[in-house]
Structure 1
Amino acid sequence: MPDLTGLTGEQASQALRRADFHYIDYSQNRNATMSSRVVSQNPAPGTRWNKLDKVSVALAPSTAASTARTTVAAAPTTTQAPEPVSDTWTYKVTGPHKAMITYAAKGGNTSQVSSAKLPWSKSVESPGYASMSFAYVSAQNSGGGTISCQIIAPSGNVVSENSSEGEYAIVTCQS
């Protein structure tokens, strides 16, 4: 588990998505926003944690005064902007024939390719919605043989893979 203390809610969200954590619960005080700082987290930094289990992040309330102080303190011109964070997931489907493929797209939407030539691959930016990333791909074989799917997280790790065999077999991968 990465140490999120002192990061903004948005920075913490990006760090957890890069580490392939999927379920993030933000407890915010009444005046807290995603630009507020993380004051505590569960599990603690350095803890081994299942990436499908909930991560709780507490954000401190923001006030105009503390925002103004932060803005003045953060004014050095020699500081470089942080590297942009990639949240691109890759879906792959392989098999001997064409397939009907359904997958999770940006914003929690679903997209479909009705007669995809295999092998097929699609990169999707930020599948899911709000601060919950989830990836899903399902494919139905147009004939016999083995059809397989794979989901590759932004980190480059394969987080789900599956195979099915037979005429018009369906295979599903999700993360």
Structure 2
Amino acid sequence: MKAQKTFKTNNKTIPYYHFKFQGDFSHILKNSKNNKKSHQLNIANKEELRIYLIKEVYKQFDFSKYEGSFPCFSKAMIVIIQSFNSLRNQDLDNFQYKIIVDTIRKTRIIDDDTWKDCSLMYLGKHDSNSEINTLIIPHEHFVEFLSNSENEVMKDIFDQPTVIQSDDAKRKESIHIQRETNSFFGIEE
């Protein structure tokens, strides 16, 4: 069996896939709340993106070359990591990643994209490159994959410490910052 990538856990070699799509696709993947005309424009862009995604997937792993001998998963975790080259806040729930999941399904790595066949995880990160990394990991080995030290793609996502505080403390911090800002600009409360 020809695997694109592998990682080791408990003396077992586990296959997985990693596809990288270079470019800023935010304007195409954003949920459209605009008028009908711009929605039609968005559909045309999605068709171009669909063709690009399929070509990239087959460029990164030629499935036809390994017909019948590449790993397929009865249940997979699909992790989509969108890298933003701007520090501007982006809401991941405002993006539609269906086109990427459908591209993965067409490779036959997974049978279907129903809840029985796959789970989805969306992550965002800041990077100098705008790109989308898509990982397809056997569902039962996802936790081991996360803890694998060789996992370069996801390693830096979890490096930032998480501040855990009460809602009251967060509100007080926000008020303090607002007062300092007002004071700096000479604005009286």
TM-score by length of 1: 0.24
Structure whose residues are more often strand by fraction? 1
Q: Which has the higher contact order (CA 8 A, sep 6+)?
A: 2
